[in-house]
Chain A
Amino acid sequence: MIFLELFWTFFKIGAFTFGGGYAMLPLVEEQVISHGWLSEEAIVNFIAVSESTPGPFAVNIATYVGSQVGGAEYGGNLWFTILGSAAATLGVVLPSFIVILLVAKFYQQFKNSRTVTGLMTGLKPAAIGLIASAVVSMAITVFLPSGFLFDVFKTTEFYISAVIFALCACLVFYKRKKIPPVLVICIAAVLGIATGYAFKL
């Protein structure tokens, strides 16, 4: 039953994500790719969509994977697409919901718990290490889409990606003014289209 599978997979992802932002990315990558639901490339594409639309990454990616999987299973039927999204989103939300209800009830015990503090001293750096590993697999997808071959340094695609990455990194790490992610994505898209046509990739 695909909807149950979606629900359960995203329930586990939701239950094991600590910390905001992209802490969920490594879990989504592993689970979604190993199920064959999306490719690494599709996930990276979707991060751009999520940055340009409102709402948390967690809900956005769950909805998207759910819609793709639910729709594909039943020939693009609208209702099954919606059902797939709802199943995955409910799954990703439910662990936080339950845990917060418990915390709200037993707030004092939770706040003073040495066990929670202890677990967090391991969980916070683990999230960072795992995101670092996700960045590595993203970099492979961006720069070496067909695997690591020595020919890769002769292809135009490699150099175009490298130049666009370098330009975007300059914008992103620019200290004096914070440039919104949506703008970075738009600039990257324009550069992609321009170079794509210019070099007839």
Chain B
Amino acid sequence: MSTFKKALKLFLTFFKIGAFTFGGGYAMIPLIQHEVAEKNKWITDEDILEIVAIAESTPGPIAINSATFVGYRVCGVLGSTAATLGVVLPSLVIILVISFVLAAFQELRAVQYAFMGIRAGVLALVLKALITMFKKCPKGWVSYIVMAFAAVVGIFTDINVFLIIIISALFGLVTYSIMHSKGADK
């Protein structure tokens, strides 16, 4: 297959993945596995696990990270561009259309009532997501200190979120280095 054809196929495959995954993030992994590993055999199942691990330790949404990584493995920077464009495009188009629809209907009383209920429902959904993330996070005193620090500073002060993230990352790096330095000295 020529590089161009491969890139086109990547684009179409990731367009499909982007158009059919609700909720994004981890919901996308089984679909990527099916399309990319099983059907097209571009990468192996083990690669998928690696991609998830990489996506977790690099910035940005998992969907974008996986698309870029798979695309690069298949055919370099062109592949990355094609796959990422593919996974983004469905959301972009759908949300643009919805933003016009929302603007047209949001003055309606029924819609305002609906969103009053929906906001309470969304709060429950995000709370659930928070608890799921908490259960998956590595335990230990470093984790708890950082969590408490980020939550308290986030709630009670106006300190910039970027700064909170930088401080937490550095704190993690310093404590990790101290705790693992003895083993490295041997």
Q: Which residues of A contact B130 (CB under 8 A)?
A: 22, 128, 131-132, 135
Contact: A20 with B115, CB < 8 Å? no
Q: Does A21 contact B (CB under 8 A)?
A: yes
Residue of A nearest to B176 (CB): A118
Give 1 or 0 for each of A87-125: 1 = CB within 8 Å of chain B CB.
001001101110111011000001000111111111111
Residue of A nearest to B20 (CB): A54
With A86-B92, A123-B172, A165-B120 in contact, is A52–B24 under 8 Å at CB? Answer: no
Q: Give the CA-CA distance A17 to B62 in the complex, in Å.
A: 10
Contact: A22 with B69, CB < 8 Å? no
Q: Which residues of A contact B132 (CB under 8 A)?
A: 21
Contact: A128 with B133, CB < 8 Å? yes
Q: Which residues of A contact B127 (CB under 8 A)?
A: 135, 169, 172
Number of chain A residues close to chain B: CB under 8 A: 110
Pick the interface stretch among B2-10, B32-40, B137-145.
B137-145
Contact: A64 with B99, CB < 8 Å? yes
Q: Which residues of A contact B61 (CB under 8 A)?
A: 17, 20, 24, 56-59, 92, 96
Residues of B within 8 A of A (CB): 18-26, 28, 54-65, 68-69, 72-73, 77, 80, 84, 87-88, 90-92, 94-96, 98-99, 102, 109-110, 112-130, 132-134, 137-138, 142-144, 146-155, 160-162, 164-165, 168-177, 180
